[in-house]
């Protein structure tokens, strides 16, 4: 039982910083308490990618109709 508790404590000490870094999308072995990345810039970047993908999907979905009316 003593080994289990020691292993649990060591596991928590190692896993906690790795989990923080994983959630922030930064390298796992970097400092988990460093300055936070700019959230607004990340949101703008992801939104831009999402809009681009959405525009392409709409274009692909409406392509047959455009071809039908252009004939």
**The overall pTM is greater than 0.85:** no
To 5 degrees, how large is the angle CA 35–CA 38–CA 16? Answer: 50
Q: Which single residue is written with the structure tokens 């289990």?
A: 4
Total domains in the chain come to 2
- 50 with 69, same domain: the answer is yes
Q: What is the pLDDT of residue 52?
A: 92
Question: Whole domain around residue 64: which residue ranges?
Answer: 38-71
Nearest to 36 by CA among 15, 12, 19, 20: 20
- 27 with 53, same domain: the answer is no
pLDDT tens per residue across span 15-56: 999 998 888 888 888 888 887 767 788 888 889 889 999 999
- 44 with 71, same domain: the answer is yes
- 71 with 53, same domain: the answer is yes
């Amino acid at each position: 039982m003593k080994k289990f508790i020691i292993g649990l404590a060591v596991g928590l000490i190692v896993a906690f910083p790795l989990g923080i870094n994983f959630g922030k999308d930064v390298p796992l072995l970097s400092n988990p308490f460093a300055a936070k990345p700019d959230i607004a810039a990340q949101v703008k970047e992801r939104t831009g990618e999402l809009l681009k993908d959405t525009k392409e999907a709409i274009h692909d979905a409406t392509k047959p109709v455009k071809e039908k009316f252009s004939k």
